[in-house]
């Protein structure tokens, strides 16, 4: 398989993007050497990123679930020279200076003393709470001025559910407010201390500085609340009878210490216990013991904000950690997190299978059988029965993964796709069973099972036991229009009324003139005529199915059937071309200077592919009916002009362009029942209805540009685009079956 390497920083444009052929077992070290050969960057300087993960040595590509055509981003590692140990840095000196500044000594203040009742402001919220000064400090390197003092305060018991102890500066402290204004004393332009709840203004909140801008009525005060460094304007105060005067600092000798103090009211922290400190409560106390003692030993989870005593934990903690802490219910398992530069977590099953495998060093996954699927056809469900919109009879794919990506046959290995509770949706006729017989318009198909594929990585083997009419075999039998019989089988009287099965033929079929020359070909819809058990050539019981074609489109082997170019997976042709160029370059180097290699006469795979498209006798042309329908779709004329430029590249490319152009802006799928709005945007009718199903707006708006669309009652009638729906019905077989 191949992967893409992108190095957008590279000076050479030819080396900014390249293809590399690898296998599933290619190690990261081997990948680095391959990258060095392509972009000339040493492995030590490479940083490789894939889907948000950095690739590290010691693993293989399969550990990262890498698929075909996936992209690896290559960045150049910067080399930083180490700093000599004897060289001192400015950062070290700054650190030493900050350590000196952190040394605190006890001091005194001209305005406050230990035990004073003060108001303290929380720096983050700007709210003021009642507290008492415990100690006064200053930095050892600073003078004894008020701005350099640090006050250690503790909140009053009624001010908070748990005591608040912190160190604050002179600007965040002031004498406690005690005087309550009378309503007659309040005037616009005053700055007061008011109670206000920012989230729910009609309930009690914290205490903030408040500037009165106007008094709109009796006991109605409006103004600005100062919150932290900002403010909130046009706030209405509910508790106008509790507006308090803001006190200014004064010298200790000039103040009156015998002032009456009033306890302010604060919001209730816990609704369970109503902030009763004598009542046990797991909501505001320790979740384990429900106690509220030792608040300095309570630790709060940073996720759910639940409190725990450090000695109630299992195992207990000695101190409250400074870093983030999470309880056992919120903690993420660190073993499942892949940090930057770490290896991915390989599962035990994957690791044991790698160690115990006898072919651990065997290279596998280099071809196209194990590449997987890069994209999924989401236009139809996985259990879709019948034709797939956009896929016509005769479409041919180079590899099995391409068939799965288009939604024709989704399994990458199984021959039958179905559910035993429903029916079979598709099957691949590849001649894997010796009892198969292909007559074109009808064929005999052998059921699955009866083989031992447990040893090694087998896809097929000789018949070793009887087949059973279960699982996919039963699913295919349910497509027959007859009563299910798991003993003798059944035959349909009206076989055309049975459920359809999509049939894909493989080029590896033996003794079949109806098989394609290369790859896998979709041959249309077949119906199960009958199914019955019989003794196979290997001597074991097998289940056989007779399927007959029932499709209006001509069979691919008929003369009047359209011919389509083979479909390759994204990047396949480019990788093959890059690989062939490398072989030619290596060959020219080995030959020496005796003979010059004429590169101008060498046709690349891409050149041959596009040349085949242009010189094809069956060059694709639009049907006159489709052209006339496109002309009638005047609303999307500018979009059809761009799509019609792709017609010369073939029908497959044209259908891809149409599907990409007319993709719903809401569900990102091909538009179903299109609605073209006045602004030119087109989307599904159902998507537009669902978007505004629960909206109370009287008018709709375009979900893309927000243009007003008028009354929503007749919106879908006014903007329904029947002409576009007609074109899509003509282009995509099975359109409207979603």
pLDDT at 358: 45
Structure tokens at 412: 């990458």
Residue 428 pairs in a beta bridge with 504
Q: Where does the pLDDT of residue 342 fall: very low under 50, low under 70, confident under 90, or very high at 90 and above? A: low
Report yes or no on 654 lying in a domain.
Answer: yes
Give the other-Cβ count within 10 Å of 495's Cβ.
Answer: 19
Q: Which helix (H) or strand (E) holds 638?
A: helix 637-644
Secondary structure in 3-state letters for 158-184:
CCCCCCCEEEEEHHHEEECCCCECCHH
Within this chain, do residues 635 and 493 fall inside the same structural domain, yes or no? no
Cβ atoms 618, 563 nearer than 8 A:
yes
Judged by phi (left if over 0) then psi (alpha if -120 to 50, else beta), residue 158 lies in alpha
Secondary structure in 3-state letters for 300-348:
ECCCCCCEEECCCCCCCCCCCCCCCCCCCCCCCCHHHCCCCCCCCCCCH
Please compute the mean of the pLDDT values over residues 26-51 and round it to a whole number.
92
Within this chain, do residues 433 and 537 fall inside the same structural domain, yes or no? yes
Task: Judge whether residue 142 has pLDDT over 70.
Answer: no
Q: Which residue has the higher pLDDT, 379 or 161?
A: 379
Range list of β-strands (E), 447-599 = 490-491, 501-506, 520-535, 541-549
What integer best gives the mean pLDDT of the chain?
83
Report yes or no on 565 lying in a domain.
Answer: no
Report yes or no on 664 lying in a domain.
Answer: yes
Task: Judge whether residue 717 has pLDDT over 60.
Answer: yes
CATH classification at residue 161: 2.30.30.140
Within this chain, do residues 161 and 189 fall inside the same structural domain, yes or no? no
Question: What is the distance between the alpha carbons of residues 287 and 306, in angstroms, rounded to a whole number?
Answer: 7
Question: What is the distance between the alpha carbons of residues 689 and 228, in angstroms, rounded to a whole number?
Answer: 46
Max avg pLDDT among 93-97, 431-435, 481-485, 732-736:
481-485
pLDDT at 375: 81
Cβ atoms 206, 267 nearer than 8 A:
yes
Last residue of a domain, one of 308, 327, 346: 327
pLDDT at 246: 92
Total residue length of the chain: 738
pLDDT of 238-274, one tens digit each? 888 889 999 988 888 888 777 788 888 888 878 788 8
Task: Judge whether residue 145 has pLDDT over 50.
Answer: yes
Within this chain, do residues 156 and 197 fall inside the same structural domain, yes or no? no
Question: What is the distance between the alpha carbons of residues 322 and 309, in angstroms, rounded to a whole number?
Answer: 15
Question: Can you say how many angstroms the Cα of residue 127 is from the centroid of all Cα atoms in its chain?
Answer: 41
Report yes or no on 242 lying in a domain.
Answer: yes
Structure tokens at 515: 């098989």
Residue 628: φ, ψ to 5°: -65, -40
The SS3 call for residue 681 is: coil
Report yes or no on 556 lying in a domain.
Answer: no
Question: What is the distance between the alpha carbons of residues 572 and 581, in angstroms, rounded to a whole number?
Answer: 14
Cβ atoms 156, 262 nearer than 8 A:
no
In this structure, is the dihedral angle defined by the CA atoms of residues 56, 62, 65 and 66, taken in order, positive or negative?
positive
Within this chain, do residues 411 and 493 fall inside the same structural domain, yes or no? yes
Report yes or no on 429 lying in a domain.
Answer: yes
Residue 88 CB contacts under 8 Å (≥ 6 apart), including other chains: none
CATH classification at residue 211: 2.30.30.30
Question: What is the distance between the alpha carbons of residues 192 and 183, in angstroms, rounded to a whole number?
Answer: 12
The SS3 call for residue 71 is: strand
Nearest by Cα to 2 from 368, 362, 364, 363: 368
Give the other-Cβ count within 10 Å of 492's Cβ.
Answer: 20
pLDDT of 99-128, one tens digit each? 544 577 888 888 888 888 999 998 878 899
Residue 207 CB contacts under 8 Å (≥ 6 apart), including other chains: 119, 127, 128, 129, 193, 194, 195, 264, 266
pTM of the model: 0.58
Within this chain, do residues 715 and 684 fall inside the same structural domain, yes or no? yes
pLDDT at 601: 42
- Of 258-272, 313-327, 577-591, which gets the smallest average pLDDT? 577-591
Question: Which 8-state DSSP code applies to residue 231?
Answer: E
- Of 185-189, 415-419, 573-577, which gets the smallest average pLDDT? 573-577
Within this chain, do residues 411 and 539 fall inside the same structural domain, yes or no? yes
Q: 582 exposed, middle or buried (CB, 10 Å; 0-12, 13-18, 19+)?
A: middle
Residue 54 pairs in a beta bridge with 49
Nearest by Cα to 543 from 459, 440, 471: 471
pLDDT at 598: 45
Within this chain, do residues 474 and 511 fall inside the same structural domain, yes or no? yes
Per the listing, tokens 């332009």 go with 189
Report percent pLDDT > 70 for the chain. 83
Question: What is the distance between the alpha carbons of residues 528 and 532, in angstroms, rounded to a whole number?
Answer: 11
Q: Where does the pLDDT of residue 692 fall: very low under 50, low under 70, confident under 90, or very high at 90 and above? A: confident
Structure tokens at 675: 């609605």
Cβ atoms 122, 227 nearer than 8 A:
no
Task: Judge whether residue 172 has pLDDT over 80.
Answer: yes
Question: What is the distance between the alpha carbons of residues 683 and 715, in angstroms, rounded to a whole number?
Answer: 13
Report yes or no on 518 lying in a domain.
Answer: yes
Within this chain, do residues 132 and 222 fall inside the same structural domain, yes or no? no
Give the other-Cβ count within 10 Å of 600's Cβ.
Answer: 5
Last residue of a domain, one of 327, 352, 382: 327
pLDDT at 517: 92
Please compute the mean of the pLDDT values over residues 481-488 and round it to a whole number.
95
Report yes or no on 643 lying in a domain.
Answer: yes
Structure tokens at 482: 């007859």
Cβ atoms 139, 101 nearer than 8 A:
yes
Question: What is the distance between the alpha carbons of residues 708 and 532, in angstroms, rounded to a whole number?
Answer: 63
pLDDT at 352: 55
Last residue of a domain, one of 144, 175, 206: 175
Judged by phi (left if over 0) then psi (alpha if -120 to 50, else beta), residue 272 lies in alpha
Count how many domains the chain has. Answer: 6
Secondary structure in 3-state letters for 127-144:
CEEEEEEEEEEEECCCCC
The two most distant CA atoms of the chain are separated, in Å, by 117
Cβ atoms 443, 430 nearer than 8 A:
no
Within this chain, do residues 673 and 538 fall inside the same structural domain, yes or no? no
Nearest by Cα to 698 from 690, 689, 710: 710
The SS3 call for residue 113 is: coil
Question: What is the distance between the alpha carbons of residues 659 and 639, in angstroms, rounded to a whole number?
Answer: 12
Q: Which domain holds residue 127?
A: 108-175
Provide DSSP, 236-256.
EES-GGG-BPPPPP--GGGS-
CATH classification at residue 712: 3.30.40.10
CA atoms within 13 A on the CB side of 335: 2
Report percent pLDDT > 90 for the chain. 35
Within this chain, do residues 417 and 511 fall inside the same structural domain, yes or no? yes
pLDDT of 12-24, one tens digit each? 888 899 989 898 8
Within this chain, do residues 317 and 237 fall inside the same structural domain, yes or no? no
């Amino acid at each position: 398989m191949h992967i893409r390497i992108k190095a957008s920083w590279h000076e050479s444009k030819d080396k900014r993007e390249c293809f590399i052929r690898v296998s599933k077992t290619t190690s990261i070290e081997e990948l680095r050497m391959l990258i060095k050969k392509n972009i000339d960057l040493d492995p030590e300087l490479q940083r490789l990123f894939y889907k948000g993960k950095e690739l590290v040595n010691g693993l293989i590509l399969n550990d990262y679930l890498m698929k075909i055509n996936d992209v690896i981003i290559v960045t150049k590692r910067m080399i930083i020279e180490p700093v000599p140990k004897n060289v001192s840095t400015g950062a070290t000196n700054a650190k030493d200076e900050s350590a000196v500044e952190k040394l605190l000594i006890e001091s005194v203040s001209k305005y406050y003393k230990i035990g004073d009742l003060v108001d303290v402001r929380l720096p983050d919220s700007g709210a003021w709470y009642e507290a008492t000064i415990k100690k006064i400090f200053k930095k050892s390197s600073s003078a004894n001025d008020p701005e350099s003092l640090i006050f250690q305060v503790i909140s009053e018991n009624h001010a908070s559910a748990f005591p608040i102890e912190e160190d604050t500066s002179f600007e965040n402290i002031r004498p406690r407010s005690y005087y309550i204004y009378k309503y007659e004393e309040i005037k616009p332009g005053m700055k007061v201390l008011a109670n206000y709840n920012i989230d729910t203004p009609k309930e009690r909140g914290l205490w903030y500085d408040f500037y009165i801008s106007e008094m709109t009525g009796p006991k109605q005060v409006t103004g600005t609340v100062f919150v932290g460094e900002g403010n909130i304007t046009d706030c209405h105060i509910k508790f106008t009878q509790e507006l308090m005067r803001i006190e200014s600092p004064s010298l200790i000798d000039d103040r009156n210490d015998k002032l009456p103090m009033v306890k302010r009211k604060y919001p209730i922290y816990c609704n369970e216990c109503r902030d009763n400190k004598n009542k046990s409560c797991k909501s505001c106390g320790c979740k384990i013991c429900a106690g509220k003692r030792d608040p300095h030993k309570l630790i709060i989870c940073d996720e759910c904000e639940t409190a725990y005593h450090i000695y109630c934990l299992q195992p207990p903690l000695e101190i409250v950690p400074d870093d983030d802490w999470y309880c056992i219910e919120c903690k993420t398992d660190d073993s499942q997190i892949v940090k930057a530069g770490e290896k991915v977590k390989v599962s035990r099953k994957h690791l044991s299978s790698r160690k115990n495998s006898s072919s651990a060093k065997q290279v596998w996954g280099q071809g196209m059988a194990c590449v997987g699927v890069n994209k999924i056809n989401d236009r139809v469900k996985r259990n879709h029965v019948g034709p797939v919109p956009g896929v016509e009879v005769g479409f041919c794919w180079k590899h099995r993964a391409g068939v799965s990506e288009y939604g024709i046959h989704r399994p990458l290995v199984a021959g039958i796709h179905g559910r035993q509770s429903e029916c079979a949706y598709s099957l691949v006729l590849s001649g894997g069973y010796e009892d198969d017989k292909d007559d074109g318009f009808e064929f005999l198909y052998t059921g699955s099972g009866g083989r031992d594929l447990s040893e090694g990585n087998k896809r097929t083997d000789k018949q070793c036991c009887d087949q059973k009419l279960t699982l996919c075999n039963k699913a295919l039998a349910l497509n027959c229009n007859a009563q299910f019989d798991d003993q003798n089988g059944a035959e349909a009287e009206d076989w055309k009324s049975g459920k359809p099965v999509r049939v894909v033929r493989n080029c590896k079929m033996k003794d079949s003139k109806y098989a394609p020359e290369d790859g896998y070909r979709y041959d249309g819809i077949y119906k199960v005529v009958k199914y019955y058990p019989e003794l196979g050539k290997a001597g074991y019981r097998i289940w056989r199915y007779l399927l007959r074609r029932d499709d209006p489109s001509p069979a691919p082997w008929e003369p009047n059937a359209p011919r389509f170019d083979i479909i390759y997976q994204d990047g396949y042709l480019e990788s093959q071309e890059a690989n062939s160029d490398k072989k030619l370059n290596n060959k020219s180097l080995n030959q020496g200077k005796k003979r010059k290699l004429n590169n101008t006469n060498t046709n690349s795979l891409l050149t041959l592919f596009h040349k085949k498209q242009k010189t094809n006798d069956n060059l694709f042309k639009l049907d006159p009916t489709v052209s006339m329908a496109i002309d009638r779709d005047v609303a999307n004329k500018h979009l059809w002009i761009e799509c019609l430029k792709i017609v010369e590249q073939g029908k497959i490319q044209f259908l891809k362009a149409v599907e990409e152009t007319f993709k719903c802006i809401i569900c990102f799928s091909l538009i179903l029942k299109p609605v073209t709005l006045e602004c030119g945007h087109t989307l599904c009718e159902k998507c537009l209805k669902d978007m505004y199903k629960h909206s109370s707006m009287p008018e709709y708006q375009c979900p893309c540009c927000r243009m007003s669309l008028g009354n929503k009652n007749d919106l879908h009638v006014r903007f329904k685009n029947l002409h576009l729906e007609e074109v899509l019905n003509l282009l995509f077989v099975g359109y409207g079956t979603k």
